Every structure is written in C-alpha cells, then in structure tokens.
C-alpha cells in the first residue's frame, strides 16, 4: 500500500478508455471515492482509494493490491504514527542523512546498512530501558514521550559519556508496546476516527 501524489501517474478505470490523472479523481471535502480494478501506466493492475480528510493538508490517494474499503484509509492513517517518524529519524531527528551529501548509490547503500545496525542497537537499548525502570532518567515526559530509538540513542550517549559497557541484550516481548505520545494533543491526533459524510464506490 503506498501513496500517489496528486498529478502523478495516468490511470485507466476498469475496461473503459477513460484515462485521467489522479488529481481528477479526488472527492469533495469529507468524502471518499473507491475505485476497484484500476491500472497504472496502462500495465499495473491495482485498486485506488481517494479521500479528502478533515484536518489534513493534502488529499489522500492510496494505491493498494487489496480491494478498496474504508479500512484502506485506516491502514494508511497509521503511517503518521509509525512510518513518518521513522523517516524523520533518518533525516533531522537522529541521523541527518541529508547532511551527508552522498549521491553515489553504493556509498548510500553502505551508509544505510550502518544506520540500520545503529538503529537496531538503539531500539534494543530503548526497549530495555522501560522494564528496567530507566525511562525516567532519559525521558522527561510523564508517560513515554520518546520513541524507543530516541531512548536508545540517549542511553547509548550516556554509556559513552560515563564509559560504561553496553548492557547484555535480551529477547524482546512478543507483545507490541503502546506507542509513544509526547502530549495528550498528539495522542488525540493519532487516535482520532476518520469519518466521511459520503463514500462512493465506483464499479465497472
């Protein structure tokens, strides 16, 4: 499931010859359109769901290999609590990839391999901080407001500063922990329900 930006790509609707860019398939405010069986670039078969969601800057246009439904938007909305912060960690929040100035594909591959290793170590350390009761030493929020990556990076910096050995890693719990929220307002934003005044399913 991925995002298609307005104005990008040419779509064929069903078996008709009605081709259009995605910006022509966006619904009015607080409405959703479901387009099963579309083709991208005249060759790739998929499904399209578009929506104009209240409180968001841009309309949503989601391509998927699954039949379009309201669940499509629910799954896509989860990216703002997980995928987008992950991208931010690689850029401004943690690793500053954009400041590397690298353009060579092989060099970038090596860099991201190292960053993935660093991320894994930091995530493990962050996950261990919470059950060990060390979260409050690294996070000033009442509840966990930092991601496990940020907690782990702070724990790693603390170990380096105090010249301590890294703790032995343990197996992680099978249960996913609650997401971090820096404020009640942020929690309400991530936990809000997506509702539409009208949903139109286009079938051919």
Is 132 within the bounds of a domain?
A: yes
Predicted TM-score (pTM) of this structure: 0.52
What confidence tens digit (pLDDT) does each residue in 104-150 have? Answer: 999 989 998 998 898 888 888 888 877 666 666 666 655 666 778 88
Of all residues in the chain, the percent with pLDDT exceeding 90 is 8
Is 187 within the bounds of a domain?
A: no
Mean pLDDT over the full length of the chain: 76
Residue range(s) defining the domain that contains residue 36: 2-79+193-201
Structure-token pair, residue 149: 């990556």
Counting Cβ atoms within 10 Å, is residue 55 exposed (0-12), middle (13-18) or buried (19+)? Answer: exposed
Tokens 């820096």 appear where? 182
Whether residues 51 and 89 fall in one domain: no
> Could you give the number of structural domains in the chain?
2
Is 52 within the bounds of a domain?
A: yes
Whether residues 73 and 101 fall in one domain: no
């Amino acid at each position: 499931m991925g995002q298609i930006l307005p104005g990008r790509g040419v779509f064929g609707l069903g078996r008709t010859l009605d081709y259009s860019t995605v910006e022509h398939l966006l619904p009015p405010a607080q409405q959703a359109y479901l387009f099963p069986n579309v083709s991208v670039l005249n060759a790739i078969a998929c499904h399209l769901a578009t929506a104009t969601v209240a409180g968001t800057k841009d309309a949503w246009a989601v391509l998927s290999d699954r039949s379009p439904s309201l669940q499509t938007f629910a799954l896509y909305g989860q990216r703002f609590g997980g995928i987008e912060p992950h991208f931010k960690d690689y850029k401004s929040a943690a690793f500053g990839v954009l400041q590397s100035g690298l353009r060579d594909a092989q060099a970038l591959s090596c860099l991201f391999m190292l960053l993935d290793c660093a991320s894994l170590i930091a995530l493990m350390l962050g996950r261990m901080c919470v059950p060990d009761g060390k979260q409050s030493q690294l996070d000033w929020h009442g509840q966990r407001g930092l991601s496990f990556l940020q907690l782990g990076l702070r724990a790693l910096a603390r170990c380096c500063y105090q010249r301590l050995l890294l703790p032995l890693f343990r197996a992680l719990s099978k249960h996913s922990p609650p997401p971090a929220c820096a404020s009640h307002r942020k929690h309400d934003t991530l936990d809000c329900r997506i509702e539409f005044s009208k949903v139109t399913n286009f079938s051919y």
